[in-house]
A and B are shown apart, each in its own frame.
Chain A
Amino acid sequence: QVQLQESGSGLVRPSQTLSLTCAVSGGSISGGGFSWNWIRQSPGKGLEWIGYVYDSGRTHYNPSLKSRVTISEDRAKNQFSLKLNSVTAADTAVYYCARVSITLVWGVITHRDAFDIWGRGTMVTVSS
């Protein structure tokens, strides 16, 4: 079955760029029918959706983070990535990658389903 595994730097300096990768195994991100998402959870807090990539690199981001976020896919490596720039202590969190089934009609998402597969998460601390 499909599995997701996050990796990347666990410590990022303030004002720098957070970079994470999610490796997908047991399935291909090129197959279509899915969006590939990033979600984070600050210590002791709830879940915050960051954004997703789908359909050969198209993206959509949380409006609250849009100015600082880039999500991209690498089909050759079967993985997708998150970059969050100008980080502060408020970006300290466990970062999860997750899959969502989507329905595309003429390139437009007409239906989004649940976050059905999640990675185990990776803790990122922003500190000098």
Chain B
Amino acid sequence: SYELTQPPSVSVSPGQTVSISCSGDRLEDQFVYWYQQKPGQSPLLVIRQNNERPSGIPERISGSKSGNTATLTISGTQAMDEADYYCQAWDRSTAVFGGGTKLIVL
């Protein structure tokens, strides 16, 4: 079955820039979506179609894709950005999520 691979965790100091990767064999031909999930909350869409920010998502959160790897970047990271982040793509008719990355703000 199709898999999206993310690092289990990344850490960053407040104010710095951090990137979270998501790789998949067919990602080049797929839109990538990113979700933020804080403890006890539902996931929140933060990036759609590779690099579009939904209304209300701060500009410091951005997305990009190159080949089969997508990247979520948070600039000027704040303590409130500490959360789990999941990438997602549609593989034909099936939604596939990455395993998630825990962002730790030191």
Where the two chains meet, the residues of A that have a C-beta atom closer than 8 Å to any C-beta of B are: 37, 39, 46-49, 60, 62-64, 96, 109, 112-116, 118-121
Contact = CB atoms under 8 A, between A and B. Distances in A.
Interface size class of B (residues with CB under 8 A): 20 to 34
A37 B95 contact: yes
Contacts of A62: 94-95
B49 interface: yes
Mostly, the B contact residues are strand
Contacts of A114: 33, 45, 48-49, 88
A115 B98 CA distance: 14
Majority-rule SS of A interface residues: strand
Contacts of B33: 114-115
Given A96-B42, A115-B35, 18 more contacts: A46-B97, A46-B98, A47-B35, A47-B43, A47-B86, A47-B88, A48-B97, A49-B96, A62-B95, A63-B1, A64-B1, A114-B33, A114-B45, A114-B48, A114-B49, A115-B33, A116-B54, A119-B42
Contacts of B43: 47, 96, 115, 118
Given A46-B99, A118-B42, A121-B42, A109 B93 contact: yes
